[in-house]
Structure 1
Amino acid sequence: QCGSITYGIGMRNVLNQKSKDDVDREIDAIPDLIKRKNRRDLVDQGIRAPVFIEALRQSKIFLNELEKELNNSEWLFNDSFGLADASALPYIIRMEQLALDELFDINNRPNINSWYAKIKKMDIYEKAITTFIPNQLIDFLGQCGQDQKDEVFKLMEKN
Protein backbone atom coordinates (compact mmCIF):
# COMPACT_ATOMS: atom_id res chain seq x y z
CA GLN A 1 0.00 0.00 0.00
CA CYS A 2 2.82 2.41 0.80
CA GLY A 3 4.40 1.99 -2.63
CA SER A 4 1.10 2.58 -4.42
CA ILE A 5 0.48 5.73 -2.42
CA THR A 6 4.02 6.95 -3.08
CA TYR A 7 3.69 6.33 -6.83
CA GLY A 8 0.18 7.75 -7.05
CA ILE A 9 1.12 11.00 -5.33
CA GLY A 10 4.79 11.52 -6.08
CA MET A 11 6.79 9.19 -8.25
CA ARG A 12 4.39 9.30 -11.18
CA ASN A 13 5.46 12.92 -11.59
CA VAL A 14 9.04 11.77 -12.14
CA LEU A 15 7.97 9.17 -14.69
CA ASN A 16 5.69 11.60 -16.48
CA GLN A 17 8.70 13.83 -17.18
CA LYS A 18 10.17 11.05 -19.31
CA SER A 19 9.15 10.26 -22.86
CA LYS A 20 6.19 7.92 -23.30
CA ASP A 21 8.50 5.33 -24.88
CA ASP A 22 10.86 5.45 -21.88
CA VAL A 23 7.95 5.13 -19.44
CA ASP A 24 6.45 2.25 -21.42
CA ARG A 25 9.83 0.49 -21.52
CA GLU A 26 10.29 0.92 -17.77
CA ILE A 27 6.79 -0.34 -16.98
CA ASP A 28 6.99 -3.19 -19.49
CA ALA A 29 10.15 -4.39 -17.74
CA ILE A 30 8.15 -5.19 -14.58
CA PRO A 31 7.91 -8.99 -14.73
CA ASP A 32 4.77 -9.43 -12.64
CA LEU A 33 1.66 -8.78 -14.75
CA ILE A 34 -0.44 -7.40 -11.87
CA LYS A 35 2.33 -5.10 -10.64
CA ARG A 36 2.89 -3.93 -14.21
CA LYS A 37 -0.81 -3.12 -14.66
CA ASN A 38 -0.94 -1.35 -11.29
CA ARG A 39 2.13 0.74 -12.11
CA ARG A 40 0.64 1.75 -15.46
CA ASP A 41 -2.62 2.71 -13.73
CA LEU A 42 -0.73 4.74 -11.12
CA VAL A 43 1.27 6.59 -13.75
CA ASP A 44 -1.78 7.22 -15.95
CA GLN A 45 -4.41 7.93 -13.27
CA GLY A 46 -2.46 8.96 -10.17
CA ILE A 47 -4.64 9.19 -7.08
CA ARG A 48 -7.69 8.08 -9.07
CA ALA A 49 -6.17 4.67 -9.88
CA PRO A 50 -8.08 1.76 -8.29
CA VAL A 51 -4.88 0.44 -6.71
CA PHE A 52 -4.27 3.84 -5.10
CA ILE A 53 -7.79 3.98 -3.68
CA GLU A 54 -7.42 0.46 -2.30
CA ALA A 55 -4.08 1.43 -0.76
CA LEU A 56 -5.78 4.39 0.94
CA ARG A 57 -8.48 2.09 2.29
CA GLN A 58 -5.86 -0.33 3.62
CA SER A 59 -3.85 2.54 5.11
CA LYS A 60 -6.88 3.78 6.97
CA ILE A 61 -7.37 0.30 8.45
CA PHE A 62 -3.66 0.13 9.32
CA LEU A 63 -3.68 3.53 11.03
CA ASN A 64 -6.83 2.68 13.00
CA GLU A 65 -5.32 -0.64 14.15
CA LEU A 66 -2.02 1.00 15.04
CA GLU A 67 -3.83 3.69 17.03
CA LYS A 68 -5.79 1.01 18.88
CA GLU A 69 -2.67 -1.06 19.63
CA LEU A 70 -0.95 2.00 21.11
CA ASN A 71 -3.95 2.78 23.30
CA ASN A 72 -2.63 0.86 26.31
CA SER A 73 1.09 0.91 25.66
CA GLU A 74 3.86 3.25 24.56
CA TRP A 75 5.22 0.61 22.18
CA LEU A 76 3.66 -2.05 19.99
CA PHE A 77 5.15 -5.01 21.84
CA ASN A 78 6.62 -5.09 25.33
CA ASP A 79 7.92 -2.03 27.11
CA SER A 80 10.46 -0.76 24.60
CA PHE A 81 10.97 -0.04 20.92
CA GLY A 82 11.15 -3.33 19.05
CA LEU A 83 10.68 -5.15 15.78
CA ALA A 84 6.94 -4.40 15.59
CA ASP A 85 7.62 -0.68 15.97
CA ALA A 86 10.41 -0.81 13.40
CA SER A 87 8.08 -2.60 10.98
CA ALA A 88 5.31 -0.01 11.29
CA LEU A 89 7.63 2.98 11.18
CA PRO A 90 8.30 3.17 7.39
CA TYR A 91 4.59 3.65 6.69
CA ILE A 92 4.37 6.55 9.13
CA ILE A 93 7.56 8.12 7.80
CA ARG A 94 6.30 7.93 4.22
CA MET A 95 2.93 9.42 5.18
CA GLU A 96 4.78 12.32 6.78
CA GLN A 97 7.01 12.75 3.72
CA LEU A 98 3.91 12.88 1.51
CA ALA A 99 2.42 15.67 3.69
CA LEU A 100 -0.25 13.28 5.01
CA ASP A 101 0.85 13.50 8.64
CA GLU A 102 -2.46 15.13 9.51
CA LEU A 103 -3.75 11.54 9.51
CA PHE A 104 -1.88 10.93 12.76
CA ASP A 105 -1.68 14.36 14.32
CA ILE A 106 -2.60 14.96 17.97
CA ASN A 107 -6.27 15.53 17.07
CA ASN A 108 -6.82 12.53 14.78
CA ARG A 109 -4.67 9.73 16.16
CA PRO A 110 -2.93 10.96 19.33
CA ASN A 111 -1.42 7.58 20.21
CA ILE A 112 0.40 7.34 16.89
CA ASN A 113 1.43 10.97 17.21
CA SER A 114 2.97 10.37 20.64
CA TRP A 115 4.62 7.10 19.56
CA TYR A 116 6.18 8.74 16.49
CA ALA A 117 7.38 11.75 18.48
CA LYS A 118 9.21 9.39 20.88
CA ILE A 119 10.81 7.52 17.99
CA LYS A 120 11.97 10.76 16.35
CA LYS A 121 13.83 11.65 19.56
CA MET A 122 15.79 8.39 19.52
CA ASP A 123 19.44 8.52 18.41
CA ILE A 124 18.85 5.73 15.93
CA TYR A 125 16.24 7.81 14.10
CA GLU A 126 18.84 10.39 13.14
CA LYS A 127 21.33 7.73 12.08
CA ALA A 128 18.97 5.42 10.23
CA ILE A 129 16.35 7.77 8.82
CA THR A 130 17.24 11.44 8.72
CA THR A 131 20.73 11.07 7.25
CA PHE A 132 19.74 8.17 4.99
CA ILE A 133 16.92 9.78 3.00
CA PRO A 134 17.99 12.61 0.65
CA ASN A 135 16.45 15.98 1.46
CA GLN A 136 15.75 16.56 -2.23
CA LEU A 137 13.50 13.46 -2.29
CA ILE A 138 11.72 14.50 0.92
CA ASP A 139 11.12 18.00 -0.45
CA PHE A 140 9.84 16.61 -3.76
CA LEU A 141 7.46 14.12 -2.12
CA GLY A 142 6.29 16.77 0.32
CA GLN A 143 5.45 19.21 -2.47
CA CYS A 144 3.60 16.54 -4.47
CA GLY A 145 1.70 15.52 -1.35
CA GLN A 146 0.87 19.09 -0.41
CA ASP A 147 -0.49 19.75 -3.91
CA GLN A 148 -2.87 16.76 -3.70
CA LYS A 149 -3.54 16.50 0.03
CA ASP A 150 -7.10 17.79 -0.02
CA GLU A 151 -8.10 15.39 -2.79
CA VAL A 152 -6.41 12.47 -1.05
CA PHE A 153 -8.24 13.22 2.21
CA LYS A 154 -11.56 13.38 0.35
CA LEU A 155 -10.85 10.01 -1.27
CA MET A 156 -9.92 8.57 2.09
CA GLU A 157 -13.17 9.78 3.64
CA LYS A 158 -15.21 8.14 0.89
CA ASN A 159 -13.44 4.79 1.06
Structure 2
Amino acid sequence: MASEWDDMVIVEENPVLASALAGIFREIGYTVRVACEGLAALRCLRERVPDVLLSDLEMPCMSGFELLPVVRRRYALIGVIAMSGAYSGVAVPLGVPADAFYAKGCGPVTRLLELLHAMKDEPKRHAVRSTVRVDSDATTRARWEPNKLRPRVEPEAE
Protein backbone atom coordinates (compact mmCIF):
# COMPACT_ATOMS: atom_id res chain seq x y z
CA MET A 1 0.00 0.00 0.00
CA ALA A 2 1.30 3.49 -0.81
CA SER A 3 2.09 5.49 2.29
CA GLU A 4 4.01 8.75 2.52
CA TRP A 5 4.44 8.74 -1.27
CA ASP A 6 1.00 8.57 -2.78
CA ASP A 7 0.89 10.89 -5.81
CA MET A 8 2.38 9.83 -9.15
CA VAL A 9 2.63 11.04 -12.74
CA ILE A 10 3.23 8.42 -15.43
CA VAL A 11 4.65 9.72 -18.71
CA GLU A 12 4.16 7.11 -21.42
CA GLU A 13 3.17 7.51 -25.08
CA ASN A 14 1.61 4.03 -25.38
CA PRO A 15 -1.97 4.48 -24.07
CA VAL A 16 -2.43 0.77 -23.34
CA LEU A 17 0.74 0.57 -21.23
CA ALA A 18 -0.01 3.91 -19.53
CA SER A 19 -3.50 2.73 -18.61
CA ALA A 20 -2.23 -0.63 -17.33
CA LEU A 21 0.45 0.98 -15.16
CA ALA A 22 -2.01 3.58 -13.85
CA GLY A 23 -4.47 0.81 -12.93
CA ILE A 24 -1.80 -1.15 -11.05
CA PHE A 25 -0.63 1.87 -9.06
CA ARG A 26 -4.19 3.04 -8.32
CA GLU A 27 -5.00 -0.44 -7.04
CA ILE A 28 -2.24 -0.17 -4.42
CA GLY A 29 -3.27 3.31 -3.32
CA TYR A 30 -1.54 5.85 -5.53
CA THR A 31 -3.25 8.88 -7.02
CA VAL A 32 -2.14 8.66 -10.64
CA ARG A 33 -2.14 11.17 -13.47
CA VAL A 34 -1.00 10.18 -16.96
CA ALA A 35 0.75 12.27 -19.63
CA CYS A 36 1.52 11.05 -23.16
CA GLU A 37 4.77 13.04 -23.57
CA GLY A 38 7.08 15.48 -21.80
CA LEU A 39 5.24 18.75 -22.45
CA ALA A 40 1.99 17.28 -21.13
CA ALA A 41 3.94 16.02 -18.11
CA LEU A 42 5.23 19.52 -17.36
CA ARG A 43 1.64 20.79 -17.41
CA CYS A 44 0.71 18.06 -14.88
CA LEU A 45 3.63 19.07 -12.66
CA ARG A 46 2.60 22.73 -12.74
CA GLU A 47 -0.93 21.78 -11.60
CA ARG A 48 0.29 19.70 -8.68
CA VAL A 49 3.78 18.43 -7.88
CA PRO A 50 3.71 14.63 -7.44
CA ASP A 51 5.86 12.51 -5.16
CA VAL A 52 6.98 10.27 -8.03
CA LEU A 53 7.47 10.67 -11.77
CA LEU A 54 7.66 7.51 -13.90
CA SER A 55 8.83 8.54 -17.37
CA ASP A 56 9.58 6.78 -20.60
CA LEU A 57 12.75 8.02 -22.31
CA GLU A 58 11.62 7.71 -25.95
CA MET A 59 8.54 9.83 -26.70
CA PRO A 60 7.44 12.31 -29.39
CA CYS A 61 7.45 16.10 -28.92
CA MET A 62 9.48 16.17 -25.69
CA SER A 63 11.32 12.97 -24.80
CA GLY A 64 12.29 11.78 -21.35
CA PHE A 65 15.87 12.80 -22.21
CA GLU A 66 14.62 16.37 -22.49
CA LEU A 67 12.03 16.19 -19.70
CA LEU A 68 14.09 14.77 -16.84
CA PRO A 69 16.76 17.52 -16.71
CA VAL A 70 13.94 20.09 -16.55
CA VAL A 71 12.24 18.14 -13.76
CA ARG A 72 15.51 17.98 -11.80
CA ARG A 73 16.03 21.74 -12.11
CA ARG A 74 12.45 22.79 -11.31
CA TYR A 75 11.21 20.02 -9.00
CA ALA A 76 14.24 18.61 -7.21
CA LEU A 77 12.28 16.67 -4.58
CA ILE A 78 10.32 14.47 -6.99
CA GLY A 79 11.45 10.84 -7.04
CA VAL A 80 12.15 9.94 -10.67
CA ILE A 81 12.09 6.54 -12.36
CA ALA A 82 13.17 6.48 -16.00
CA MET A 83 11.98 3.60 -18.15
CA SER A 84 12.64 2.38 -21.65
CA GLY A 85 12.19 -0.67 -23.80
CA ALA A 86 15.25 0.28 -25.84
CA TYR A 87 17.72 -0.22 -22.96
CA SER A 88 18.25 -3.04 -20.50
CA GLY A 89 19.79 -3.48 -17.10
CA VAL A 90 18.91 -2.23 -13.65
CA ALA A 91 21.33 0.68 -13.27
CA VAL A 92 20.31 4.23 -14.10
CA PRO A 93 21.81 4.93 -17.50
CA LEU A 94 24.78 7.30 -17.57
CA GLY A 95 23.64 10.90 -17.97
CA VAL A 96 19.96 10.24 -17.20
CA PRO A 97 18.98 12.30 -14.13
CA ALA A 98 16.79 9.68 -12.46
CA ASP A 99 16.76 7.88 -9.14
CA ALA A 100 16.04 4.49 -10.70
CA PHE A 101 15.62 2.75 -14.05
CA TYR A 102 13.08 0.18 -15.23
CA ALA A 103 13.67 -1.75 -18.46
CA LYS A 104 10.22 -2.14 -20.02
CA GLY A 105 9.53 -5.64 -21.23
CA CYS A 106 12.56 -7.08 -19.44
CA GLY A 107 11.16 -7.51 -15.97
CA PRO A 108 7.94 -7.88 -14.02
CA VAL A 109 5.94 -4.89 -12.85
CA THR A 110 6.83 -5.94 -9.31
CA ARG A 111 10.29 -4.55 -10.13
CA LEU A 112 8.68 -1.08 -10.31
CA LEU A 113 7.18 -1.63 -6.86
CA GLU A 114 10.63 -2.58 -5.53
CA LEU A 115 12.11 0.58 -7.07
CA LEU A 116 9.44 2.75 -5.46
CA HIS A 117 10.07 1.15 -2.08
CA ALA A 118 13.84 1.64 -2.38
CA MET A 119 13.41 5.27 -3.46
CA LYS A 120 11.59 6.12 -0.24
CA ASP A 121 15.01 6.02 1.46
CA GLU A 122 15.71 9.74 0.92
CA PRO A 123 19.42 9.80 1.91
CA LYS A 124 20.09 6.91 -0.46
CA ARG A 125 18.11 8.62 -3.24
CA HIS A 126 20.05 11.88 -2.84
CA ALA A 127 23.36 9.99 -2.79
CA VAL A 128 22.46 8.38 -6.12
CA ARG A 129 21.46 11.78 -7.54
CA SER A 130 24.80 13.32 -6.63
CA THR A 131 26.62 10.78 -8.80
CA VAL A 132 24.54 11.57 -11.92
CA ARG A 133 26.08 14.31 -14.05
CA VAL A 134 24.23 15.83 -16.98
CA ASP A 135 26.51 17.80 -19.30
CA SER A 136 23.85 19.12 -21.66
CA ASP A 137 20.65 17.85 -23.17
CA ALA A 138 22.33 17.28 -26.57
CA THR A 139 25.33 15.51 -25.05
CA THR A 140 23.10 13.29 -22.92
CA ARG A 141 20.97 12.30 -25.91
CA ALA A 142 24.05 11.71 -28.05
CA ARG A 143 25.49 9.36 -25.44
CA TRP A 144 22.23 7.46 -25.07
CA GLU A 145 20.42 7.27 -28.36
CA PRO A 146 20.45 3.96 -30.16
CA ASN A 147 21.24 4.60 -33.82
CA LYS A 148 18.21 2.59 -34.93
CA LEU A 149 15.73 4.69 -32.98
CA ARG A 150 16.85 8.21 -33.84
CA PRO A 151 19.83 9.82 -35.59
CA ARG A 152 22.74 10.57 -33.28
CA VAL A 153 22.97 14.13 -32.04
CA GLU A 154 26.50 15.43 -32.04
CA PRO A 155 27.55 18.44 -29.92
CA GLU A 156 28.03 21.57 -32.00
CA ALA A 157 31.56 22.23 -33.24
CA GLU A 158 33.20 25.39 -31.96
TM-score, normalised by the number of residues in structure 1: 0.26
Which of 1 and 2 has higher RCO (CA within 8 Å, sep 6+)? Answer: 1
TM-score normalized with structure 2 length? 0.26
Higher strand residue share:
2
Higher share in helix: 1
